[in-house]
């Protein structure tokens, strides 16, 4: 098991390396060398300009530049953001936790809801509850997350004013409010974005989990469980679910890259100041170092999340492998 864990970590590192290299190539070989151009902009203080130029070795040949850049990256230096007047690393350090919060909450809620839906569908297989929930989950996967976000923002947010439509609330005014109120305010602002993303997660999880559960329900030990006089819910939850949940976690891991992509759009629509919104603001301002750092880190987030879910799936489902 440790061997597989190490293999996974190496794989994750390899992905990050590939992404980082691709980012470098885009930065330095795109038409017009945007990285250099960004530094030559008017609002960059000359001292900063000189410092970053030296650090990134713009006068050096490409090979040397790559090495220096990789070294800088390893040290956590991601360049200077002209649009925000701060080091990119600082901007990202603020934004990343908010994206992690959004994606994390959505994953947990969505997974729980999805499994719950699938359980109900299995209990009432082929009856109206199954069909109704099946139609709902189909809608959940057919309507793209950003469109659901748009609808939610338009109706629940703007029209009916149930939730705020933008931002993260007064969290920035540290110390201005009591902690408890700030947390509630944060949650209120988190509700719609995380809710929409959770809906997407729940729909996918429910569809996969239903298939897995129905497959397991055909096994002989389910018949044994019924022969003991167990009620149908007990049979499904205590016997079918533990055997059916492992593959679903693994599949969720596979869907993570596209979920992170969805989260990025949702942040933009709701104005949630995480990596996604940072990315879009940077796009508008043509702030290339920030653009590419945002892409890099969002990808890293997806890779890390996937590694975690793979490890969890492995933990939940190893005994199957040991059987002959």
Partner 1 sequence: MAANTWHRLRDDRGARIAAGVLATAAIAATFAPWIAPYDPTLQPDPVGLRLVSPSWQHPFGTDPFSRDVLSRILHGARVSLGVAAGAMLLSVTLGAALGALAAVVGGWVDGVVSGLVDVLIAMPRLLVVIALVATFGTLSPWWLVALIGGSGWLTTARIVRAEFRDHLQREYVLAARALGASRWRIVWHHLLPAVAPQLAVAAALALAAVIPLEAALSFVGLGVQPPLPSWGNILLDGTDYLTTAWWLVVFPVAAVSLTVGSALVMADRLRVAIAGEERDL
Partner 2 sequence: MNPALLSVEHLQVDAGGARGAAPKPILRGVTFAVQPGETVGVLGASGSGKTSLALALLGLLPPALTARGRVLFEGHELLTASRGARRALRGRRLSIVFQEPLTALNPRMRVGAQVAEMARAHGERDARRAMRGAVDMLGRVGLPEADVRAWRYPHELSGGERQRVLLAMALLLDPALLIADEPTSALDVTVQAQVLELLHALQRERGMALLLVSHDLGVIATSCARTVVLHDGLVVEDVPTRQLLTAPEHPQAQALVDAVRPAVRSA
Residues in contact with partner 2 by CB under 8 A are 219-221, 223-231, 234, 238-239, 242-243, 319-320, 322-324
| Distance, CA of 125 to CA of 132 (rounded, Å) | 11
Nearer CB in complex with partner 1: 182/250: 250
Q: Which does 37 bind (CB under 5 to 8 A by kind): partner 2, partner 1, none?
A: none
The residues that touch partner 1, with contacts defined as CB under 8 A, are 11-12, 14-15, 18-19, 23, 26, 30-31, 34, 125-126, 138-139, 141-144, 146-147, 150-151, 154, 158-159, 211, 214, 254, 257-258, 260-262, 264-265, 268, 279-280, 283, 288, 291-292, 295, 298-299, 302-303, 306
Q: Which does 220 bind (CB under 5 to 8 A by kind): partner 1, partner 2, none?
A: partner 2
Dihedrals φ, ψ of 70, to 5°? Answer: -60, -40
Per DSSP, helices labelled H in the chain are 2-29, 34-39, 46-56, 62-74, 88-123, 128-142, 145-152, 179-216, 220-227, 232-234, 241-270, 275-285, 288-316, 318-322
Nearer CB in complex with partner 1: 283/316: 283
Ordered DSSP codes for 280-312: HHHHHHT-HHHHHHHHHHHHHHHHHHHHHHHHH
Shortest distance, position 151 Cβ to partner 1, whole Å: 7
Q: Which does 104 bind (CB under 5 to 8 A by kind): partner 2, partner 1, none?
A: none
Shortest distance, position 211 Cβ to partner 1, whole Å: 7
Check residue 79 and give left, alpha or beta (phi > 0: left; psi -120 to 50: alpha): left
| Distance, CA of 280 to CA of 287 (rounded, Å) | 10
Q: Which tokens go with 304? A: 């890390």
End-to-end CA distance of the chain: 18
Shortest distance, position 115 Cβ to partner 2, whole Å: 16
Shortest distance, position 184 Cβ to partner 1, whole Å: 26
Q: Which does 131 bind (CB under 5 to 8 A by kind): partner 1, partner 2, none?
A: none
Per DSSP, helices labelled H in 76-127 are 88-123
Rounded (10°) CA dihedral 184, 185, 188, 192: -140
Shortest distance, position 302 Cβ to partner 1, whole Å: 5
Shortest distance, position 142 Cβ to partner 1, whole Å: 3
Nearer CB in complex with partner 2: 250/292: 250
Q: Which does 209 bind (CB under 5 to 8 A by kind): partner 1, partner 2, none?
A: none
Q: Which does 116 bind (CB under 5 to 8 A by kind): partner 2, partner 1, none?
A: none
- DSSP state at residue 230: -
Q: Which does 20 bind (CB under 5 to 8 A by kind): partner 2, partner 1, none?
A: none
Do the strands 86-87 and 80-81 form a parallel or antiparallel pair, or are they unpaired?
A: antiparallel
């Amino acid at each position: 098991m440790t061997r597989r864990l190490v293999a996974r970590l190496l794989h994750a590192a390899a992905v990050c390396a590939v992404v980082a290299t691709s980012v470098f190539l885009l930065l330095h070989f795109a038409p017009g060398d945007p990285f250099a151009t960004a530094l030559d902009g008017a609002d960059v203080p000359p001292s900063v300009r000189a410092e970053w130029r030296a650090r990134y070795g713009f006068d050096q040949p490409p090979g040397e530049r790559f090495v220096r850049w990789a070294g800088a990256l390893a040290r956590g230096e991601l360049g200077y953001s002209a649009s925000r007047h701060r080091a990119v690393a600082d901007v990202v350090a603020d934004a990343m936790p908010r994206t992690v919060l959004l994606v994390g909450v959505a994953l947990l809620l969505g997974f729980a809801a999805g499994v719950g839906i699938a359980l109900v569908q299995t209990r009432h297989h082929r009856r109206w509850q199954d069909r109704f929930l099946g139609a709902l989950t189909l809608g959940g996967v057919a309507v793209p997350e950003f469109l659901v976000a748009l609808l939610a923002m338009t109706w629940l947010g703007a029209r009916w004013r149930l939730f705020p439509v933008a931002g993260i609330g007064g969290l920035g005014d540290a110390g201005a409010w009591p902690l408890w109120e700030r947390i509630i305010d944060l949650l209120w602002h988190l509700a719609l974005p995380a809710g929409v993303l959770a809906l997407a997660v729940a729909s996918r999880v429910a569809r996969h989990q239903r298939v897995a559960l129905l497959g397991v329900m055909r096994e002989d030990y389910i018949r044994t469980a019924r022969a003991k006089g167990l009620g149908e819910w007990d049979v499904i939850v205590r016997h079918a679910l533990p055997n059916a949940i492992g593959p679903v976690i693994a599949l969720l891991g596979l869907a993570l890259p596209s979920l992170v992509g969805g989260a990025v759009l949702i942040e933009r629509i709701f104005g949630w100041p995480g990596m996604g919104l940072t990315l879009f603001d940077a796009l508008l301002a043509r702030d290339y170092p920030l653009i590419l750092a945002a892409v890099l880190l969002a990808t890293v987030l997806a890779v890390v999340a996937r590694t975690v879910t793979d490890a969890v799936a492995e933990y939940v489902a190893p005994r199957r492998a040991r059987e002959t």
